[in-house]
Amino acid sequence: MDTQLILHIGQHKTGSKALQSAFFSNRKLLAEKGVFYPVLNPKNQVKAYEISHFKLFAILRHEVMNELDSDLADDYLSAHQSVMGQDRNLETLFRSLSAEVRKKKYSTVILSAEDLFDMHSAQEIGFNSEYIRSAVSKIYLCCDQVGFVPKVVVYLRRQDDLLIAHYNQYIKGAAFPELDFETYTSQFFPRLKSSSILRFWMDQFGQERVQFRPYEKETLSGGIVPDFFESVLQMPIPKGWQEPKKDIESVNATPPRDYIEFIRIQKVQGNSKNSFPQELILQAALNSQKIGLNGSEWLSGNERKGLIEHLRDENLTLSDWSKRATEFYFTELNIQSDAENLTYPGLSPAKAIEISKQVHELWTKAKMNKFKARLTKLSWIGIASLILLFFFIKAIN
Protein backbone atom coordinates (compact mmCIF):
# COMPACT_ATOMS: atom_id res chain seq x y z
CA MET A 1 0.00 0.00 0.00
CA ASP A 2 1.36 3.40 -0.99
CA THR A 3 2.09 5.90 1.76
CA GLN A 4 0.68 9.42 1.69
CA LEU A 5 3.33 12.15 1.88
CA ILE A 6 2.06 15.48 3.11
CA LEU A 7 4.64 18.02 2.02
CA HIS A 8 4.11 21.29 3.87
CA ILE A 9 6.16 23.83 1.91
CA GLY A 10 5.32 27.12 3.64
CA GLN A 11 5.21 29.75 2.53
CA HIS A 12 7.54 31.69 4.78
CA LYS A 13 6.00 33.70 7.63
CA THR A 14 2.75 31.72 7.81
CA GLY A 15 3.01 30.06 11.21
CA SER A 16 5.32 27.25 10.07
CA LYS A 17 7.42 27.33 13.26
CA ALA A 18 4.31 26.96 15.42
CA LEU A 19 3.14 24.01 13.33
CA GLN A 20 6.56 22.34 13.35
CA SER A 21 7.02 22.89 17.06
CA ALA A 22 3.64 21.27 17.76
CA PHE A 23 4.33 18.27 15.53
CA PHE A 24 7.84 17.82 16.91
CA SER A 25 6.61 17.90 20.52
CA ASN A 26 3.82 15.39 19.79
CA ARG A 27 5.54 13.09 17.30
CA LYS A 28 5.04 10.01 19.51
CA LEU A 29 1.32 10.71 19.73
CA LEU A 30 1.18 11.19 15.95
CA ALA A 31 3.02 7.89 15.45
CA GLU A 32 0.28 6.10 17.40
CA LYS A 33 -2.14 7.40 14.76
CA GLY A 34 0.04 6.15 11.91
CA VAL A 35 1.50 9.58 11.15
CA PHE A 36 5.29 9.83 10.88
CA TYR A 37 6.93 13.18 11.63
CA PRO A 38 10.65 12.37 11.24
CA VAL A 39 13.51 14.11 13.04
CA LEU A 40 16.26 14.79 10.52
CA ASN A 41 18.49 16.96 12.71
CA PRO A 42 18.44 15.61 16.27
CA LYS A 43 19.92 17.92 18.90
CA ASN A 44 20.93 20.62 16.42
CA GLN A 45 22.19 23.82 18.00
CA VAL A 46 19.58 25.75 16.01
CA LYS A 47 16.20 24.69 17.34
CA ALA A 48 14.43 25.63 14.10
CA TYR A 49 16.57 23.08 12.23
CA GLU A 50 15.82 20.39 14.82
CA ILE A 51 12.03 20.73 14.78
CA SER A 52 11.65 21.25 11.01
CA HIS A 53 12.93 19.50 7.90
CA PHE A 54 15.27 22.26 6.82
CA LYS A 55 17.85 19.55 6.16
CA LEU A 56 15.70 18.29 3.28
CA PHE A 57 15.65 21.80 1.81
CA ALA A 58 19.41 22.24 2.27
CA ILE A 59 20.19 18.97 0.46
CA LEU A 60 17.77 19.84 -2.34
CA ARG A 61 19.06 23.40 -2.66
CA HIS A 62 22.63 22.11 -2.94
CA GLU A 63 21.62 19.63 -5.65
CA VAL A 64 19.84 22.39 -7.56
CA MET A 65 22.80 24.74 -7.27
CA ASN A 66 25.15 22.01 -8.50
CA GLU A 67 22.94 21.81 -11.56
CA LEU A 68 22.29 25.51 -12.19
CA ASP A 69 24.91 27.53 -10.26
CA SER A 70 27.86 25.19 -9.77
CA ASP A 71 30.22 28.06 -8.90
CA LEU A 72 28.09 28.87 -5.84
CA ALA A 73 27.36 25.29 -4.75
CA ASP A 74 30.58 24.82 -2.77
CA ASP A 75 30.01 28.03 -0.80
CA TYR A 76 26.48 26.91 0.01
CA LEU A 77 27.72 23.51 1.15
CA SER A 78 30.33 25.11 3.38
CA ALA A 79 27.73 27.39 4.99
CA HIS A 80 25.27 24.53 5.62
CA GLN A 81 27.67 21.72 6.51
CA SER A 82 26.39 21.48 10.09
CA VAL A 83 22.81 20.96 8.86
CA MET A 84 23.50 18.56 6.02
CA GLY A 85 26.10 16.42 7.77
CA GLN A 86 27.30 13.70 5.40
CA ASP A 87 24.03 13.62 3.43
CA ARG A 88 24.24 15.01 -0.10
CA ASN A 89 21.54 13.13 -1.97
CA LEU A 90 17.77 13.71 -1.92
CA GLU A 91 16.98 10.25 -3.25
CA THR A 92 18.96 8.61 -0.44
CA LEU A 93 17.04 10.66 2.13
CA PHE A 94 13.69 9.62 0.65
CA ARG A 95 14.69 5.95 0.53
CA SER A 96 15.72 6.12 4.19
CA LEU A 97 12.33 7.62 5.09
CA SER A 98 10.57 4.97 3.02
CA ALA A 99 12.43 2.18 4.83
CA GLU A 100 11.36 3.59 8.20
CA VAL A 101 7.75 3.84 6.97
CA ARG A 102 7.70 0.19 5.87
CA LYS A 103 9.31 -0.92 9.12
CA LYS A 104 6.80 0.89 11.35
CA LYS A 105 3.86 0.61 8.90
CA TYR A 106 3.02 4.30 8.92
CA SER A 107 0.19 5.43 6.65
CA THR A 108 1.25 9.08 6.42
CA VAL A 109 4.50 11.03 6.43
CA ILE A 110 4.64 14.77 7.15
CA LEU A 111 7.61 16.79 5.92
CA SER A 112 7.64 20.49 6.71
CA ALA A 113 10.13 23.04 5.38
CA GLU A 114 8.84 26.51 4.55
CA ASP A 115 11.90 27.29 2.41
CA LEU A 116 10.66 24.82 -0.20
CA PHE A 117 7.89 27.09 -1.50
CA ASP A 118 10.19 29.39 -3.44
CA MET A 119 13.48 27.53 -2.76
CA HIS A 120 15.05 30.49 -0.96
CA SER A 121 15.58 31.16 2.74
CA ALA A 122 13.53 33.89 4.36
CA GLN A 123 16.31 36.48 4.58
CA GLU A 124 17.58 36.03 1.01
CA ILE A 125 16.93 38.87 -1.42
CA GLY A 126 18.12 37.52 -4.75
CA PHE A 127 15.66 35.21 -6.50
CA ASN A 128 16.03 32.56 -9.19
CA SER A 129 12.76 30.97 -10.29
CA GLU A 130 14.65 28.17 -12.05
CA TYR A 131 15.60 26.86 -8.61
CA ILE A 132 11.92 26.10 -8.05
CA ARG A 133 11.41 24.37 -11.39
CA SER A 134 14.41 22.09 -10.82
CA ALA A 135 13.60 21.38 -7.16
CA VAL A 136 9.95 20.51 -7.78
CA SER A 137 10.95 18.04 -10.49
CA LYS A 138 13.49 16.34 -8.19
CA ILE A 139 11.00 15.98 -5.31
CA TYR A 140 8.33 14.57 -7.63
CA LEU A 141 10.78 12.01 -9.00
CA CYS A 142 11.81 10.91 -5.48
CA CYS A 143 8.17 10.46 -4.45
CA ASP A 144 7.59 8.30 -7.52
CA GLN A 145 10.69 6.19 -6.87
CA VAL A 146 9.76 5.27 -3.28
CA GLY A 147 6.01 5.02 -3.77
CA PHE A 148 4.95 8.09 -1.79
CA VAL A 149 1.63 9.60 -2.85
CA PRO A 150 2.28 13.33 -2.46
CA LYS A 151 0.02 16.10 -1.29
CA VAL A 152 1.53 19.58 -1.32
CA VAL A 153 0.21 21.98 1.32
CA VAL A 154 0.75 25.74 1.25
CA TYR A 155 -0.46 28.59 3.42
CA LEU A 156 -0.36 31.92 1.59
CA ARG A 157 -0.17 35.38 3.13
CA ARG A 158 -1.42 38.65 1.70
CA GLN A 159 1.54 40.33 0.05
CA ASP A 160 1.76 43.53 2.09
CA ASP A 161 1.90 41.50 5.31
CA LEU A 162 4.28 39.00 3.70
CA LEU A 163 6.69 41.74 2.64
CA ILE A 164 6.80 43.27 6.11
CA ALA A 165 7.33 39.92 7.82
CA HIS A 166 10.17 39.05 5.41
CA TYR A 167 11.90 42.36 6.03
CA ASN A 168 11.76 41.61 9.74
CA GLN A 169 13.43 38.26 9.06
CA TYR A 170 16.05 39.96 6.91
CA ILE A 171 16.96 42.32 9.76
CA LYS A 172 17.07 39.49 12.28
CA GLY A 173 19.00 37.08 10.05
CA ALA A 174 21.51 39.28 8.21
CA ALA A 175 24.85 40.06 9.84
CA PHE A 176 24.88 43.53 8.26
CA PRO A 177 21.36 44.51 7.09
CA GLU A 178 22.31 47.49 4.96
CA LEU A 179 19.05 47.76 2.99
CA ASP A 180 16.36 50.11 4.24
CA PHE A 181 12.74 49.03 3.90
CA GLU A 182 12.08 50.87 0.64
CA THR A 183 15.16 49.46 -1.13
CA TYR A 184 14.42 46.00 0.19
CA THR A 185 10.85 46.21 -1.16
CA SER A 186 11.98 46.84 -4.73
CA GLN A 187 14.50 43.98 -4.67
CA PHE A 188 12.20 41.48 -2.95
CA PHE A 189 9.16 42.11 -5.16
CA PRO A 190 9.45 38.97 -7.40
CA ARG A 191 8.95 36.74 -4.34
CA LEU A 192 5.57 38.37 -3.67
CA LYS A 193 4.10 36.81 -6.84
CA SER A 194 2.54 33.89 -4.98
CA SER A 195 0.44 32.38 -7.77
CA SER A 196 3.35 32.49 -10.22
CA ILE A 197 5.48 30.53 -7.75
CA LEU A 198 2.65 28.15 -6.86
CA ARG A 199 2.18 27.37 -10.57
CA PHE A 200 5.54 25.51 -10.61
CA TRP A 201 4.17 23.07 -8.02
CA MET A 202 0.82 22.67 -9.77
CA ASP A 203 2.42 22.06 -13.16
CA GLN A 204 4.49 19.18 -11.73
CA PHE A 205 2.22 17.60 -9.12
CA GLY A 206 -1.14 18.47 -10.66
CA GLN A 207 -3.58 21.03 -9.32
CA GLU A 208 -5.59 18.36 -7.52
CA ARG A 209 -2.56 17.46 -5.35
CA VAL A 210 -1.77 21.02 -4.29
CA GLN A 211 -3.83 22.41 -1.42
CA PHE A 212 -3.45 26.07 -0.50
CA ARG A 213 -5.19 28.23 2.06
CA PRO A 214 -5.02 31.91 3.02
CA TYR A 215 -3.07 32.57 6.21
CA GLU A 216 -5.52 34.94 7.89
CA LYS A 217 -7.38 35.14 11.17
CA GLU A 218 -10.66 34.99 9.28
CA THR A 219 -9.68 31.57 7.90
CA LEU A 220 -7.57 30.22 10.75
CA SER A 221 -9.64 31.40 13.70
CA GLY A 222 -8.33 28.57 15.90
CA GLY A 223 -4.75 28.78 14.66
CA ILE A 224 -2.73 26.87 12.10
CA VAL A 225 -2.49 23.57 14.04
CA PRO A 226 -6.27 22.91 14.31
CA ASP A 227 -6.68 24.04 10.70
CA PHE A 228 -3.99 21.62 9.52
CA PHE A 229 -5.67 18.70 11.29
CA GLU A 230 -9.12 19.59 9.98
CA SER A 231 -8.36 20.63 6.40
CA VAL A 232 -5.20 18.62 5.61
CA LEU A 233 -5.08 15.51 7.84
CA GLN A 234 -8.88 15.41 8.04
CA MET A 235 -8.82 14.05 11.56
CA PRO A 236 -9.37 15.53 15.03
CA ILE A 237 -6.43 16.58 17.17
CA PRO A 238 -5.52 13.44 19.17
CA LYS A 239 -6.41 13.28 22.85
CA GLY A 240 -3.40 14.05 25.00
CA TRP A 241 -2.06 16.64 22.55
CA GLN A 242 0.45 18.92 24.28
CA GLU A 243 0.83 22.54 23.29
CA PRO A 244 4.56 23.35 23.16
CA LYS A 245 5.86 26.17 25.31
CA LYS A 246 5.72 29.46 23.46
CA ASP A 247 9.15 30.97 22.93
CA ILE A 248 10.95 33.08 20.34
CA GLU A 249 11.48 30.06 18.08
CA SER A 250 7.95 28.66 18.15
CA VAL A 251 6.17 32.03 18.04
CA ASN A 252 8.51 33.74 15.57
CA ALA A 253 6.01 36.60 15.37
CA THR A 254 6.66 40.03 13.93
CA PRO A 255 7.90 42.48 16.60
CA PRO A 256 6.83 46.14 16.54
CA ARG A 257 8.84 48.17 14.02
CA ASP A 258 10.69 50.14 16.70
CA TYR A 259 12.28 46.94 18.03
CA ILE A 260 13.31 45.85 14.53
CA GLU A 261 14.73 49.30 13.81
CA PHE A 262 16.63 49.10 17.13
CA ILE A 263 18.20 45.81 15.97
CA ARG A 264 18.99 47.21 12.51
CA ILE A 265 20.72 50.34 13.84
CA GLN A 266 22.68 48.30 16.36
CA LYS A 267 23.91 45.93 13.63
CA VAL A 268 24.78 48.69 11.18
CA GLN A 269 26.76 50.54 13.85
CA GLY A 270 28.63 47.31 14.48
CA ASN A 271 29.62 48.20 18.04
CA SER A 272 29.46 44.69 19.46
CA LYS A 273 31.05 45.71 22.77
CA ASN A 274 28.09 47.88 23.73
CA SER A 275 25.43 45.93 21.80
CA PHE A 276 22.61 43.99 23.39
CA PRO A 277 22.13 40.33 22.38
CA GLN A 278 19.46 40.16 19.68
CA GLU A 279 17.51 37.43 21.46
CA LEU A 280 17.03 39.75 24.45
CA ILE A 281 15.69 42.53 22.21
CA LEU A 282 13.22 40.06 20.69
CA GLN A 283 12.29 38.82 24.15
CA ALA A 284 11.63 42.41 25.20
CA ALA A 285 9.35 42.77 22.18
CA LEU A 286 7.56 39.56 23.15
CA ASN A 287 7.14 40.85 26.70
CA SER A 288 5.74 44.15 25.42
CA GLN A 289 2.52 42.32 24.50
CA LYS A 290 2.48 44.24 21.22
CA ILE A 291 3.82 41.33 19.23
CA GLY A 292 2.16 40.72 15.89
CA LEU A 293 1.95 42.53 12.60
CA ASN A 294 0.83 46.14 12.51
CA GLY A 295 1.05 46.97 8.83
CA SER A 296 0.45 50.69 9.31
CA GLU A 297 3.82 50.92 11.07
CA TRP A 298 5.50 50.03 7.79
CA LEU A 299 3.33 51.16 4.91
CA SER A 300 0.60 53.75 4.80
CA GLY A 301 -2.87 52.55 3.90
CA ASN A 302 -2.55 53.98 0.40
CA GLU A 303 0.86 52.35 -0.09
CA ARG A 304 -0.53 48.98 0.95
CA LYS A 305 -3.49 49.37 -1.40
CA GLY A 306 -1.10 50.30 -4.20
CA LEU A 307 1.01 47.19 -3.60
CA ILE A 308 -2.02 44.90 -3.59
CA GLU A 309 -3.40 46.52 -6.74
CA HIS A 310 -0.05 45.95 -8.45
CA LEU A 311 -0.47 42.24 -7.66
CA ARG A 312 -4.16 42.11 -8.50
CA ASP A 313 -3.83 39.60 -11.35
CA GLU A 314 -1.82 37.27 -9.07
CA ASN A 315 -4.58 37.24 -6.48
CA LEU A 316 -7.36 36.90 -9.05
CA THR A 317 -5.61 33.74 -10.25
CA LEU A 318 -5.50 32.37 -6.69
CA SER A 319 -9.20 33.14 -6.29
CA ASP A 320 -9.99 31.38 -9.56
CA TRP A 321 -7.97 28.29 -8.63
CA SER A 322 -9.59 28.06 -5.20
CA LYS A 323 -13.09 28.63 -6.63
CA ARG A 324 -13.83 31.12 -3.90
CA ALA A 325 -17.05 33.08 -4.13
CA THR A 326 -15.26 36.39 -3.64
CA GLU A 327 -13.25 37.96 -6.46
CA PHE A 328 -10.31 38.83 -4.21
CA TYR A 329 -8.49 35.83 -2.71
CA PHE A 330 -7.37 37.50 0.53
CA THR A 331 -9.32 39.60 3.01
CA GLU A 332 -9.69 43.13 1.71
CA LEU A 333 -7.72 45.92 3.34
CA ASN A 334 -9.71 47.78 5.94
CA ILE A 335 -8.23 51.22 6.63
CA GLN A 336 -10.07 52.41 9.72
CA SER A 337 -8.39 55.72 10.59
CA ASP A 338 -6.25 58.54 9.20
CA ALA A 339 -3.46 57.39 11.51
CA GLU A 340 -3.02 54.34 9.29
CA ASN A 341 -2.04 56.63 6.42
CA LEU A 342 0.84 58.21 8.30
CA THR A 343 4.45 57.46 7.40
CA TYR A 344 6.66 55.80 10.00
CA PRO A 345 8.70 58.63 11.61
CA GLY A 346 11.65 56.44 12.59
CA LEU A 347 12.91 55.29 15.97
CA SER A 348 12.67 58.20 18.38
CA PRO A 349 15.36 58.79 21.04
CA ALA A 350 12.72 58.35 23.75
CA LYS A 351 11.61 54.98 22.37
CA ALA A 352 15.23 53.85 21.95
CA ILE A 353 15.88 54.65 25.63
CA GLU A 354 12.71 52.77 26.64
CA ILE A 355 13.77 49.67 24.67
CA SER A 356 17.30 49.90 26.10
CA LYS A 357 15.87 49.89 29.62
CA GLN A 358 13.66 46.88 28.89
CA VAL A 359 16.55 44.91 27.42
CA HIS A 360 18.93 45.95 30.20
CA GLU A 361 16.49 44.60 32.79
CA LEU A 362 16.38 41.26 30.96
CA TRP A 363 20.16 41.25 30.67
CA THR A 364 20.60 41.97 34.38
CA LYS A 365 18.07 39.28 35.29
CA ALA A 366 19.82 36.74 33.04
CA LYS A 367 23.20 37.53 34.60
CA MET A 368 21.74 37.27 38.10
CA ASN A 369 20.14 33.89 37.32
CA LYS A 370 23.45 32.68 35.92
CA PHE A 371 25.25 33.90 39.06
CA LYS A 372 22.69 32.18 41.31
CA ALA A 373 23.04 28.94 39.39
CA ARG A 374 26.82 29.10 39.69
CA LEU A 375 26.57 29.94 43.39
CA THR A 376 24.19 27.01 43.95
CA LYS A 377 26.59 24.70 42.15
CA LEU A 378 29.51 25.93 44.27
CA SER A 379 27.42 25.49 47.42
CA TRP A 380 26.68 21.86 46.60
CA ILE A 381 30.33 21.27 45.80
CA GLY A 382 31.25 22.82 49.17
CA ILE A 383 28.74 20.66 51.05
CA ALA A 384 29.94 17.53 49.25
CA SER A 385 33.55 18.44 50.11
CA LEU A 386 32.69 18.87 53.81
CA ILE A 387 30.92 15.49 53.86
CA LEU A 388 33.92 13.80 52.27
CA LEU A 389 36.25 15.56 54.70
CA PHE A 390 34.11 14.41 57.65
CA PHE A 391 34.28 10.76 56.58
CA PHE A 392 38.01 11.08 55.83
CA ILE A 393 38.75 12.40 59.33
CA LYS A 394 36.47 9.77 60.86
CA ALA A 395 38.30 7.04 58.95
CA ILE A 396 41.68 8.29 60.20
CA ASN A 397 40.54 8.35 63.81
Q: Is position 294 within any domain?
A: no
How far apart are alpha carbons 233 and 38 in whole angstroms?
16
Determine the Cα–Cα distance for residues 39 and 74; give it in Å rounded to an integer: 26
What pLDDT score does 224 carry?
Answer: 94
Reported as a single tens digit per residue, the pLDDT across 215-233 is: 998 888 889 999 999 999 9
Domain of 197, in residue numbers:
3-158+192-251
Residue 82, in any domain of the structure = yes
CA distance 68 to 66: 6
pLDDT at 253 (0 to 100): 66
H helix runs in the chain, sequence order: 16-25, 27-32, 47-51, 54-68, 70-79, 81-84, 90-104, 129-146, 159-173, 181-188, 194-205, 224-227, 248-251, 257-269, 278-287, 301-310, 312-322, 349-396
Positions of the chain with pLDDT lower than 50, given as ranges: 250
264 inside domain? no
Give residue-wise pLDDT tens across range 165-175. 899 889 988 88
Tell me the CATH number at 100. 3.40.50
End-to-end, the C-alpha distance of the chain in Å comes to: 76
Tell me if 324 is assigned to some domain: no
Residue 110 located in a structural domain: yes
Identify whether 334 is part of a domain. Answer: no
Q: State pTM to two decimals.
A: 0.85
Contact indicator for 7, 153 with CB cutoff of 8 Å? yes
